[in-house]
Structure 1
Amino acid sequence: MAKFGANKNTREAAEAQAKNILKQISEKHIGTDRNNFDSLVKLAEYANNHLNCSLKEVTQEQALQYLSDRSSDHSQSSLNKDTLAFQRMYQGAKVSDPLSKNDRLPKIKSDVEQKKVSRCYTQKQIEIVSQHQTAKFSFSTQIAASAGLRAHELLTLQRFDERSPSERDKYLEAKELKFKGLEGEKYTVKGKGGLIREVIIPNHLAEKLEQHRLDQPQRVVDREINYETRYDIPGGQKWSNSFTKAAERSLGWTTGAHGLRHTYAQERMNDLQYTGKYEIALAIVSQELGHFRPDITLIYLR
């Protein structure tokens, strides 16, 4: 049995193993082969890191357990795609646990479809998506998720000592409780209608953000709108597209980058239950998200 060290980067090894299997099962269809390769690489990484074996040594039982573990965070179509790739491997490649041409791997049912009643992602799903983005897009995802930012607002980040937020807090009690329980550095962003609001960026992300600070503000055009950005991080449509594609690859479904704001709203409402007044908690979340009316935030709580 092949041995893999716990600290060894196995991505390259996983791709090599997947390519070897793909040569044996290739149907000479670009789309099918690409899907098979993606699925096999993921299983190979899992095998190398957690089973201490190579892809060809993964048993059918281990592959099914892998699919079962993914069922809570991946769509039925994603699980079906992986299952078919594994089935082709066991039927057509030289593996330690082959499958007869007349047999089929059992179907693993996804839990996602039953849970997906809103655009909200779980924190685990956000982490999974982030891991399937390049480093710079992943960093923007972490910032957007932590502060409930719109895509274009990533381009408008500015330190709190450089720009004051708009005066619009109607609910004084909500203003006093805003960001209660959150720790980090204050920044401002410019949202819809030109509203400038304060946001909280966790300390570890704020420290990293300052490492991307530009010597001079730069002009960025997003969806035909000009922005003056102070940080060398992606935002707007480019980041949104990156998140969507990464979600489709890693989860098999997506509700778009805007779903991160739904997650932020729902988690903050849970955090603010101690206020004892639902309307105050709703007003707090509304202000943190940059909504002009608290009732708009209700859409995010479905």
Structure 2
Amino acid sequence: MQFLTDRAVCVGQKQLDMDRQAIQSLLRYNGELEQKQTLEVIETELDEVTHSRAYLDEQIDLVQQAQSDKHSLTTRIAAAAGFRAHEPGTLLPKDEREPDFREAHSEHRFAGQEDWVAYTVIGKGGLCREARLPKELADELEARRLEKPIWRIDRGIPYKTYYDIGFGKQWSDSFSKASTRVLNWSHGAHGLRHTYAQKRMEELMRYCCYEEALKAVSQELGHLRPDITLAYLR
């Protein structure tokens, strides 16, 4: 699933589906999947990555001011952590859900964010990873904690959500409309991942060399291969 998630940045939907089907056939042959069991369909990010571009902090601030409270908070959270559109809807404190184990974590991951609050999010393919938010954003988020989690559907996929904030297509549409109103253009909400990647590369290179910074940023974004993150640095 991590391989397919990384491939989603590089290839179109047809090729991604062919890769998934090939892996699925192999796992069935090996007995690791039942004959009728399938792998989750991963949607390509190629178009979003190719066309999205980073926003300036001032531009993000103008956009979030033009959104409703719950969408504004999501915009600031997504910019602070480099989330995909659906990922804010899966937020949960790290002490309530452990991330999936990754053997080769970079020692520089979250460097400079030691005082930030640790959460986990569910990325593409159901992969759970750690993410961190500044204390003030975490406080705003916790103020919107639901008494009981609820299931919400985004693009046909159910997500168990713990906070009353925007996410997925509704938030992404809100971001694009607000950006068009105040900036007269929009690179889409995916541009916030570009912003995060570029800012984090600058920050992490105070602690380590370019290659190590790239490795750390790729893991913070939920990629296994550092070269995938290069698409966000153009």
1:298 correspondence with 2:230: yes
Task: Name the SS of the counterpart of 2:55 in structure 1.
Answer: coil
Tell me which protein shows more helix as a share of its residues: 1
Structure 2 contact 111–207 (Cα < 8 Å) conserved: no
Q: Which residue of 1 aligns with 2:82?
A: 148
Counterpart amino acid of residue 177 in structure 1:
H
Deviation at 1:169, TM superposition (A): 4.3
Matches within 5 A, 1:20-169: 119-169=53-103
Q: What is the TM-score normalised by the length of structure 2?
A: 0.75
Counterpart amino acid of residue 147 in structure 1:
A
Distance of aligned partners of 1:118 and 1:134 in 2 relative to their CA distance in 1, 3 Å threshold? closer
Q: Following the alignment from structure 2 to structure 1, what is the Cα–Cα distance between the partners of residues 81 and 99?
A: 15
Distance of aligned partners of 1:276 and 1:179 in 2 relative to their CA distance in 1, 3 Å threshold? closer
Q: Following the alignment from structure 1 to structure 2, what is the Cα–Cα distance between the partners of residues 276 and 199?
A: 20
1:220 correspondence with 2:160: no
Counterpart amino acid of residue 139 in structure 1:
L
Deviation at 1:196, TM superposition (A): 0.6
Task: Name the SS of the counterpart of 1:133 in structure 2.
Answer: coil
Match of 1:286 among 193, 218, 223: 218
Task: Name the SS of the counterpart of 1:228 in structure 2.
Answer: strand
Deviation at 1:274, TM superposition (A): 2.5
Q: Following the alignment from structure 2 to structure 1, what is the Cα–Cα distance between the partners of residues 78 and 126?
A: 18
Identity in percent: 55
Counterpart amino acid of residue 89 in structure 2:
L
Counterpart amino acid of residue 79 in structure 2:
A
Q: Which residue of 2 aligns with 1:240?
A: 172
Q: Following the alignment from structure 2 to structure 1, what is the Cα–Cα distance between the partners of residues 75 and 192?
A: 9
Distance of aligned partners of 1:237 and 1:118 in 2 relative to their CA distance in 1, 3 Å threshold? closer
Q: Where do 5+ consecutive residues of structure 2 fail to align?
A: 1-50
Cα displacement string for residues 61-95 of structure 1 (whole angstroms, at most 9, x for unaligned residues): xxxxxxxxxxxxxxxxxxxxxxxxxxxxxxxxxxx
Deviation at 1:178, TM superposition (A): 0.9
Structure 1 contact 169–287 (Cα < 8 Å) conserved: no
Stretches (4+) displaced over 3 A: none
| Number of equivalent positions | 183
Q: Which residue of 1 aligns with 2:110?
A: 179
Q: Following the alignment from structure 1 to structure 2, what is the Cα–Cα distance between the partners of residues 192 and 293?
A: 15
Task: Name the SS of the counterpart of 1:221 in structure 2.
Answer: strand
Distance of aligned partners of 1:276 and 1:292 in 2 relative to their CA distance in 1, 3 Å threshold? closer
* Higher-RCO chain (CA-CA 8 Å, sequence separation at least 6): 2
Structure 1 contact 222–237 (Cα < 8 Å) conserved: yes
Q: What is the TM-score normalised by the length of structure 1?
A: 0.59
Structure 2 contact 52–190 (Cα < 8 Å) conserved: no
Task: Name the SS of the counterpart of 1:274 in structure 2.
Answer: coil
Match of 1:199 among 105, 109, 131: 131
Deviation at 1:279, TM superposition (A): 1.4
